[in-house]
Structure 1
Amino acid sequence: MITRFGRSYNDNGFVFTNLNRHPGYPVLIKFIENRMARILSKVGLNLVLPPHSLRHTHTSLLAEAGVGLEEIMDRLGHHDDEVTRKVYLHVTNNMKKEASDKFGQLMRGII
């Protein structure tokens, strides 16, 4: 976006930014909520998901991909690993299966 708008782009690291009158400034949360609701409806999902749920999903997928806690904390802007662990690092079904598979391999190696 900086390349597109040059110096007129206000780069403060916002995820959802205005590209019209005030490039780089955040858009109203209601705009994102409405857009997400329309997309979910179009794909047949009768869910209400706030935009913040994308942060949780992103973090869980990073953990599932094997990204380390320090890197995840840095990406989220966290300084306390307790917050990251408690709030964001949910165990996904794939992570549960992987743990079960690893344990099974370990047990087969013992027997």
Structure 2
Amino acid sequence: FCLSPANAIKFTPQEGQVDIQLLIKNNDVQIQVSDTGEGISAEFLPHVFDSFRQADSSTTRSYPGLGIGLALVWQLVQLQKGTIQVESPGIGQGAIFTVILPLIVS
């Protein structure tokens, strides 16, 4: 799950902010990573967890990568019977990733 905070740091400018919250509710643990970084367009939000997909697929993009990090996070969360959600008001407005995992997996 460290990829989600790593992405938040990667896509947030030095003067920006990354917050990580951990909450325990009922029988779940909720991890929320929010940032004031680049944000995600409404068109790309449904594809954030797709393998080998990046919001900027140009050869001149600012950030390197294969587009597998968040797909791996999604798979790990699913293996633990959890959920992951992403929200973003749009480009330049940051993003919020929320992971919910059961404390006890049956």
Q: TM-score range by the shorter chain?
A: under 0.3
TM-score normalised by L of structure 1: 0.23
Q: Using CA pairs below 8 Å that are at least 6 residues apart, which structure has the higher relative contact order?
A: 2
Structure with greater strand share of residues: 2
TM-score normalised by L of structure 2: 0.24
Structure with greater helix share of residues: 1
